[in-house]
Amino acid sequence: MIDEIDLIALLADHAELARHCDLLEAVADDLPALPADDDATSLCHMLEHRLSTHEARERRFMETVFAAQSVPSGEALLDRIRCRGVSQVMQAQDLIAALQPYAAPLPATTLGYMLRCFFEGCRADMAFEELAILVLAERRLTPAARSLLRNSLDQRCRV
């Protein structure tokens, strides 16, 4: 069985990543003005460390929870989650290179596109992951875990 305590770290991680997406969206909204050097350095640090930590933690969680489970399409869902996690880390590296205070400035439209692709992709991926857990583990979720996951998914999908 999967109880809410098993999901709390993952969902807290998603909530923190969602806050980072909000910060990146604010940067995109403020273009063509670039963030101050200190803010850009902070964003780069967050992108460099936060995303790789999130990807590794999430991969371990999914592998642990679904290692021995045979669910139709389950492996395809997990493969997609793994691939998107790697893609997010690579996109973060591109953003780090673009946001460094010493980097050659990109056109605002290019940087805006990069930022929006990243944070919109992250938000969609978090919703997909939570939905995948609901589908793959529906019979193994306790009522409290199911409720926690549904509440998080509701928050993630609000417009």
**Who has greater pLDDT, 95 or 54?**
95
CATH number for the region 4-156 comes to 1.20.120
The per-residue pLDDT for 61 is 85
The per-residue pLDDT for 102 is 86
Is 60 exceeded by the pLDDT of residue 159? Answer: no
Q: What percent of the chain has pLDDT over 90?
A: 58
86 vs 78: CA distance, rounded Å? 13
Average pLDDT over residues 118-144: 91
Do 80 and 128 contact (CB within 8 A), yes or no?
yes
Domain boundaries, the chain: 4-156
Condensed to tens digits (0 to 9), the pLDDT of residues 60-70 reads: 888 877 765 66
Is 90 exceeded by the pLDDT of residue 55? Answer: no
The per-residue pLDDT for 64 is 77
Q: In this structure, what token pair is assigned to residue 30?
A: 């403020």
141 vs 65: CA distance, rounded Å? 11
Q: Which amino acid is at 148?
A: L
Condensed to tens digits (0 to 9), the pLDDT of residues 13-40 reads: 999 999 999 999 999 999 999 999 999 9
Burial of residue 142 (number of CB atoms within 10 Å: 0-12, 13-18, 19+): middle
